[in-house]
Amino acid sequence: MDPHSPLTLGLLALIGLAGGVGITAVGPGGVLPTIGMFLLTGLTPAGVAGTAIVTHVATGALGTAAYTRSGQLRESGTRRIAAILAAAAVVGTPLGVLCNGLVGGEGFGLLLAAVVAVTGVLVWVRERRAPAADRAAADRTVRLPPVLIGAVGLVVSVAAGLFGLGGPMLSVPLLVIFGLPVLPALAAAQAQSVVIAAVGTVGYLLHGAIDWPLAVVVGVPELAGVLIGWRIAHAVPARQLKYTLAAVLVALAPYLALHG
């Protein structure tokens, strides 16, 4: 398929919009642009990851501003978690970019399929755990160990650098599984994603692996989706949406593996 045909560009714009909604409403929406570019454009693994990750600079900044406005990132505990995640991303993201250069198209597809499937399972587990975590948070202040937060940040940023993902994709499900309420987890992950995207963009820019026109086609609708998703996260019970996303990700995984 021609990566710059009107049909492809239209599909990528819709995928960008859906990805933006998922980033702030659910967390793992950032994987959708990567999946779309991998399946529709014929770009190299570096091209897919580099073009996808550059879109997350603006979405991460907008998501961070939105969760600051709604108060989550004004809380000292959430800011502490965000700072640790961001620090880990400075180390982990370049490692992910380096790993991308070692993976061929088939290996990239297989690894992406594995990450997508794991994310789908994590979203399902997160949704099962989220109500309990939020009830517990109403009775006590949740304080995760810094070492645990740092480990989550490192693993997530390596994966994000490798595939061009946004940090919330994996950070949010993992933080909720470890007991953090959903909204603080979403807020902290937005701040981490700014660092991941900025560091990753520099890395892929040095390799000449960013398709800027495609980044604009995906990134502009993705920004609109971020605002829509932020409102959904605060105003709409999105339980069914999250289970649907989990099912879609798990179903997509075998196709990604075969496509690679």
Domain boundaries, the chain: 6-259
Rounded to an integer, what distance in angstroms lies between the CA atom of residue 259 and that of residue 39? 7
Q: What is the pLDDT of residues 29-45, one digit of tens each?
A: 778 888 899 989 989 99
DSSP string for 20-53: HHHHHHTSGGGHHHHHHHHHHT---HHHHHHHHH
The pair of three-digit structure tokens given for residue 74, joined into one six-digit string:
């004004």
Residue 6 has a pLDDT of 86
Say which residue the tokens 């997160």 belong to.
Answer: 126
111 pLDDT higher than 70: yes
DSSP conformation class of 140: S
134 pLDDT higher than 70: no
pLDDT band at 238 (very low <50, low <70, confident <90, very high): low
Amino acid at site 208: G
Rounded to an integer, what distance in angstroms lies between the CA atom of residue 260 and that of residue 242? 26
Residue 152 has a pLDDT of 95
Residue 161 has a pLDDT of 94
170 pLDDT higher than 90: no
pLDDT band at 139 (very low <50, low <70, confident <90, very high): very low
97 pLDDT higher than 90: yes
Q: Are 43 and 211 in contact (CB under 8 A)?
A: yes
Rounded to an integer, what distance in angstroms lies between the CA atom of residue 83 and that of residue 60? 14
- What percentage of residues in the chain have a pLDDT greater than 90? 38
The pair of three-digit structure tokens given for residue 12, joined into one six-digit string:
């990528």
Say which residue the tokens 């399946």 belong to.
Answer: 39
Say which residue the tokens 């990753």 belong to.
Answer: 200
Rounded to an integer, what distance in angstroms lies between the CA atom of residue 119 and that of residue 61? 23
